[in-house]
Amino acid sequence: MSTEMTIIKHIFYFLSTGLLLFGLLPGIFSCETENCITLAENDLMISFYEQDSTTLKDMIFEYVTAEGTDSVFYDYRTKQTDFRFPVNPADDQTLFVMQVVDTVTYDTLSHDPLVIEATFHLRDRIDSLLIEYQRSQRIITEECGVEINYTHLVVKKCTFPGYEFEDDMTFLSRLNEVNIKIYD
C-alpha cells in the first residue's frame, strides 16, 4: 500500500470521526435538563414578636391549618419564632386558622420522677389570619412547568393585636426572610 493511500485513509478517518462527533454534540447538549431554578415561593414567612416590642416571641400552637384543607402545618411539638405558612395556589386568598398555646406547665409524675408531663393551656379564642394576593403564572419551559408568583399581599383579617409587613415584602420569594411580623 502506498504512502499516499495511507495518508488519504487517515485524513478520511479523522474527517469522518470529526463529522460524527460534531454531529452528535448538539444532540448531547440538547438532552441536558433545563435550568428550572425559580425564585417563586408559596410560603408566607411570618415572625412573631412580643406585643409593642422588637423582641421575638416563641410560639406554640396546638394546630395551624388553612381553611379548606385537612393539613396541620404546625402543632404543639413545634416551639419557634419564625413560621412558613403555605398559601393556596388555587385561590386569591388563604385563611389561616390557629389555636395558640398560652402556657405550658411541667409536672413530674409521682410514680416516676424521670418522666415529665407537659400540660398545654390553650388560649380562649381561635386566632386567624386572612391573606389576599394576586397570582400570576408563567411557563418556565415545557420540561420545567409553570411558576406561580404571588404579589400584592394584603392582610384582610388578623385577630392578633398587631402586624406589619417587613420592608414592603408584599410578595412571596425564596429570598424573603420575613413577610409579616405579628405582634402577640
Give Cα separations from 130 to 54, 93, 110, 147, 160 (angstroms).
23, 7, 45, 23, 11
Kindly list the domain boundaries of the chain, sorted by start residue. Answer: 1-32, 43-99+125-183
The Cα–Cα gap between 178 and 162 comes to 16
What does pTM read for this prediction? Answer: 0.72
Residue-level pLDDT, tens digit, the chain, 184 residues: 555 555 555 454 555 555 444 454 444 444 345 577 777 888 999 999 999 888 999 999 999 999 988 889 888 777 889 999 999 999 999 999 999 998 888 887 666 667 778 888 899 999 999 999 999 998 888 888 888 989 999 999 999 999 998 877 788 887 778 899 999 9
DSSP state, residue 33: P
**Rounded to an integer, what distance in angstroms lies between the CA atom of residue 99 and that of residue 75?**
9
Beta-bridged to residue 97, according to DSSP, are 65, 128
